[in-house]
Amino acid sequence: MKCPFCNIDQEKILEETKNTLTVISNPALVEGHCLVIPKRHIEKLSELNEEELKELFSATIRIEEKLLKKFLGCDISQHYRPFQKEDGTKVNHFHIQVRPREFEDELYKKCQILEKQLWKTLDNKEILELKNLILNLK
């Protein structure tokens, strides 16, 4: 599959820096949904060099501040899911999602209302087991 982020439609671009593009997401999850993308094709956060990392997060902050002039909040996220098939909504090119949010907006009503049922409080034994597992990964 030809990478859509390496061949971005110029009409979608909101901002361009030496190493990043900030674009309107298409498909969009919510009104004003944007993506901040490194120009270099990489898949994981750890593959960014220091200059790219600084530009990426500076661009993310700039678009968040713009969106907060109209919207009450923003969700900012990044996903690395090599186990999922690439398609129109899952792209194997690192990017940061910036989604404007409002109280009980469409995204909340469609899926996030169910989030409270997903979380569980860990007891001290579970915390210790997870801490040991993570710290002992090589």
SS3 20: strand
pLDDT tens digit sequence for 40-68: 999 999 999 999 999 999 999 999 999 99
Pick from 36-45, 89-98, 122-131 the range whose average pLDDT is largest.
Answer: 36-45
- DSSP of 68-96, one letter per residue? TTTSSEEEEE----TTSPP-SS--SS--E
Token code pair at residue 22 = 């900030």
pLDDT tens digit sequence for 3-52: 999 999 999 999 999 999 999 998 887 899 999 999 999 999 999 999 99
Is the predicted pLDDT of residue 1 greater than 70, yes or no?
no
Q: What angle do CA 11, 39, 32 make, to 5 degrees?
A: 45
Residue 4, in any domain of the structure: no
Q: How many domains does the chain have?
A: 1
Q: What's 90's domain CATH number?
A: 3.30.428.10
